[in-house]
């Protein structure tokens, strides 16, 4: 099966969770909006209400939006989730929690509205980020640290946790320096995922976009811990 991923061409964003799964599995896929005329095709599907927002995946006639739903669909097909329904539901629930976490990361720099400039919500962003770093980030990290099974088979959830650590290190280097000491299993999991041969090749390739100030993980020093 040839998969077509639709996502904003200049961002890691939520699309990256899907890219990591496809890349780790060595799946045949196209990152459509990064191809000539692909961005217009994505806009046409959005205008036709085939999805509310990117990312979405096309597999033949099927179009699936929502990051967690895409991964739930792809998981067993890519060898990144077992076929067992109960285990799949557990993984899906974990991925949904990761997607909640992603929203909270995003809201540190855009707490009022995505449509407003960062500079126009700076005071709220500072307040939100401070509470995120003090309360929510330790809670999310602690939750996933407790669930790491060091030798367990890697699923799409572990790939997503790798991406969370990557993004948080970029966005909040000071805060993460302190917090990582308390979450050694997550740090070890990040290393383990990073070394997977196909993923390592992807991360070193031009297909892996750099973090930037348009994505979910943004580095504003004034929002980081001091
Ligand atoms: N819950 C959705 C959220 C999708 C989403 O917010 N996508 C962003 C980019 S990462 C977007 O393009 N949003 C446009 C909008 O919401 O109008 C998911 O996890 O995929």
Cα–ligand 1 centroid distance for 181 (angstroms) = 32
Question: Helix, strand or coil for residue 3?
Answer: strand
Task: Write the residue with the smallest CA distance to atom 14 of ligand 1.
Answer: 53
d(CA 183, CA 208): 26
Q: Could you tell me if the CB of 12 is within 6 A of ligand 1?
A: no
d(CA 28, CA 4): 9
Question: How much is the pLDDT for 8?
Answer: 98
The pTM (predicted TM-score) of the whole model is 0.98
| Ligand 1 binding pocket mutation candidate from 11, 16, 54 (most atoms within 8 A of CB) | 54
Q: Are 157 and 98 a contacting pair, CB within 8 Å?
A: yes
Dihedral sign for Cα 75, 78, 79, 80, please.
Answer: negative
Dihedral sign for Cα 93, 108, 39, 79, please.
Answer: negative
| Ligand 1 binding pocket mutation candidate from 7, 13, 14, 18 (most atoms within 8 A of CB) | 14
> pLDDT tens, position by position, for the chain (226 residues)?
799 999 999 999 999 999 999 999 999 999 999 999 999 999 999 999 999 999 999 999 999 999 999 999 999 999 999 999 999 999 999 999 999 999 999 999 999 999 999 999 999 999 999 999 999 999 999 999 999 998 899 999 999 999 999 999 999 999 999 999 999 999 999 999 999 999 999 999 999 999 999 999 999 999 999 9
Task: Write the residue with the smallest CA distance to atom 13 of ligand 1.
Answer: 53
d(CA 55, CA 78): 18
Question: How much is the pLDDT for 176?
Answer: 98
Q: Could you tell me if the CB of 67 is within 6 A of ligand 1?
A: yes
Count Cβ atoms below 10 Å from residue 165 Cβ, excluding itself. Answer: 21
d(CA 7, CA 140): 26
């Amino acid at each position: 099966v040839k998969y077509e991923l639709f996502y904003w061409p200049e961002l890691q964003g939520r699309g990256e969770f899907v890219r990591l799964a496809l890349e780790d599995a060595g799946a045949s896929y196209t990152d459509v909006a990064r191809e000539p005329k692909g961005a217009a095709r994505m806009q046409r599907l959005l205008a036709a209400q085939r999805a509310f927002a990117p990312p979405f995946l096309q597999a033949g006639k099927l179009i699936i939006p929502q990051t967690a739903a895409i991964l739930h669909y792809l998981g067993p097909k890519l060898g990144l989730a077992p076929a067992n329904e109960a285990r799949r539901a557990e993984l899906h629930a974990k991925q949904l929690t990761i997607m909640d976490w992603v929203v909270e990361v995003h809201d540190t720099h855009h707490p009022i509205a995505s449509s407003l400039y960062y500079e126009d919500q700076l005071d709220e962003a500072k307040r939100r980020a401070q509470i995120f770093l003090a309360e929510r980030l330790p809670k999310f990290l602690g939750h996933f640290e407790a669930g790491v099974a060091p030798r367990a088979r890697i699923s799409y959830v572990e790939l997503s946790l790798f991406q969370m650590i990557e993004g948080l290190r970029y966005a909040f280097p000071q805060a993460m320096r302190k917090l990582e000491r308390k979450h050694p299993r997550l740090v070890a999991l990040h290393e383990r995922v990073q070394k997977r041969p196909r993923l390592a090749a992807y991360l070193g390739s031009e297909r892996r976009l750099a973090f930037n100030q348009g994505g979910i993980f943004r580095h504003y020093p004034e929002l980081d811990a001091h």
